[in-house]
Amino acid sequence: MKIKSILVKSIAVAAMSVTGLVVANNAGSNTAQAAIVQNDASVVTVNYVSNNSISVYNNYENPVATGQTLASNTSWKVIKTAYDSKGHKWYDLGKNQWVRAKYVTIGYHAVATQTQTTAPASTQAPAQSQTQTQNTQTASNTSASSYTSNASGSEASAKAWIANRESGGSYSASNGQYVGKYQLSASYLNGDYSAANQERVADNYVKSRYGSWSAAKSFWQANGWY
């Protein structure tokens, strides 16, 4: 009995020693894990000016350039924030289109002479980018009390269709950072959530990005956002 007890204790001690080594080795490896973290930005602006544009990648863990580029001084909505195994920070601009955080600045920055780069129709464009020209126009018109949209016929129908899908047609609808009838990023509205400004910003956004509400509707139907 005594011999058996000693043998059991010896085995237990040996097992604990091996476990301790494994834990120590894991603790000392300091290997970073790639992971998606809490999103820390709603909109980012490209600030890399050396080549006047940055590349878009298909993921953050093993990034491969998609061939798409984003021009400096253009702003883009952020869907996710993540870190790769080397500790580099990345932003997903929608549909797994990632950019390095070091090349962008959090927030929206108006530059009247710079317009956005629109991705080819054959690619999945990042969601809700906005031209700096439009933002400047919006800022100068926030005090206006009325606005009349030029959309009519099929254009008005497509616009109403999108509004219904986005908010049920409510100017007071909100979903996190997205506000109003057309669920625009709050930063695009510059603090003016009036119906007139929502209509103005939505028209300018769609015109600059898609060219028409009908084209925006087609994109929405294919991707679930515009």
pLDDT at res. 2: 42
User: Which residues of the chain are under the pLDDT cut of 70?
Assistant: 1-32, 48-51, 108-145
Number of H helices, E strands in the chain: 6, 12
Rg of the Cα trace of the chain?
Answer: 25
Express the helix, strand and coil content of the chain in percent, nearest 5 each.
35, 20, 45
pLDDT at res. 178: 83
pLDDT at res. 145: 62
For 24, 149, 152, 159, 199, the CA distances from 155, given in Å and listed in that order, are 65, 10, 5, 6, 14
Phi, psi of 23 (to 5 degrees): -60, -45
pLDDT at res. 42: 79
For 10, 90, 101, the CA distances from 40, given in Å and listed in that order, are 52, 11, 11
